[in-house]
Amino acid sequence: MGRRRLVVANWKMNLTTPEGCSLVEAVLGTAKQRPEVDVVVCPSFVSLQPLGRSLAHTPVALGAQDVFWLGKGAYTGQVSPRMLVDSGCRYCIVGHSEARGRFGSEPPRPLSYFSDTDETVAQKVSALVFANIVPILCVGETALERQDGRTDEVVAEQLAKALERVAPEECSNLTIAYEPVWAIGTGNVCDADEAARMCGLIRDEVASITDSACGDQVRILYGGSVKASNCAEIFANSQVDGALVGGASLIADEFSKIVLSA
């Protein structure tokens, strides 16, 4: 069976719960027109429970933007995989460049609270797989890494480390998002052929880290300044299984067009 297209809205730290509830009404209308596309919205932690109730038994799935890897305990401010399941989450973004402290639109700042490392990302991926939540694992190079010709090496290393704790037979649900850091929130979308090349490289890497069945099954999204006006070109290549959308997912009409184009 072929891979289903997937479009994920990453609302980041932008919407209150009432704002999210009204946006999701529009998303639901679009998702119903495209039953062959999987649609996921990822609101902030505080909106997960109410949106989980609104989205139960609908074609739009709920995702979180991050997770902590342990089950419970004295970890002030953290949210466990079990709490995500309890809120109705089926997906979770993990290793987003912003959570790793790698920002596309701003110069490096000493923001030590955005402190994901390859090791914490690996812990999170493994905890999500154990909880039966689909990890949407983000990988991607900075502008400087690309300029230095290190793109393929950086992405391959991020993948190898993130998947270190996952057995091949646990990979059936895995989703990867190729998100060049320099494209996130900057308006500088990656060239469609290059995005497709990177998605192909990621598929080959996943196959070599796990096995060829997993390489075939894994869904690989492109993320970074996707808009209604540029998504058709990105979706045209069969290596790209969908998109992770930030800014444009906050505008009902833009996001609907992206879902309809997928």
Tell whether residue 80 is a contact of ligand PEP (CB under 6 A): no
Tell whether residue 135 is a contact of ligand PEP (CB under 6 A): no
- Three-state SS for the chain is CCCCEEEEEECCCCCCHHHHHHHHHHHHHHHHHCCCEEEEEECCHHHHHHHHHHHCCCCEEEEECCCCCCCCCCCCCCCCHHHHHHHCEEEEEECCCCCCCCCCCCCCCCCCCCCCCHHHHHHHHHHHHHCCCEEEEEECCCHHHHHCCCHHHHHHHHHHHHCCCCCHHHCCCCEEEECCHHHCCCCCCCCHHHHHHHHHHHHHHHHHHCCHHHHHHCEEEEECCCCCCCHHHHHCCCCCCEEEECHHHHCHHHHHHHHHHC
Residue with the CB atom nearest ligand PEP in the bound state = 246
Tell whether residue 158 is a contact of ligand PEP (CB under 6 A): no
Q: Which of 17-25, 53-61, 82-90, 241-249 is the region at the interface with ligand PEP (rule: CB under 6 A)?
A: 241-249
Least Cβ distance, residue 183 to ligand PEP (angstroms): 6
Tell whether residue 244 is a contact of ligand PEP (CB under 6 A): yes
Annotated catalytic sites, by residue?
A: 96, 179
- Using the minimum distance from each CB to ligand PEP, give the nearer residue, 163 or 248: 248
Q: Which of 5, 6, 7, 10 binds ligand PEP (CB under 6 A)?
A: 10
- Using the minimum distance from each CB to ligand PEP, give the nearer residue, 43 or 246: 246
Least Cβ distance, residue 224 to ligand PEP (angstroms): 5
Least Cβ distance, residue 130 to ligand PEP (angstroms): 24
Q: Which of 223, 231, 234, 259 binds ligand PEP (CB under 6 A)?
A: 223
**Residues in touch with ligand PEP (CB under 6 A):** 10, 179, 184-185, 223-226, 244-248
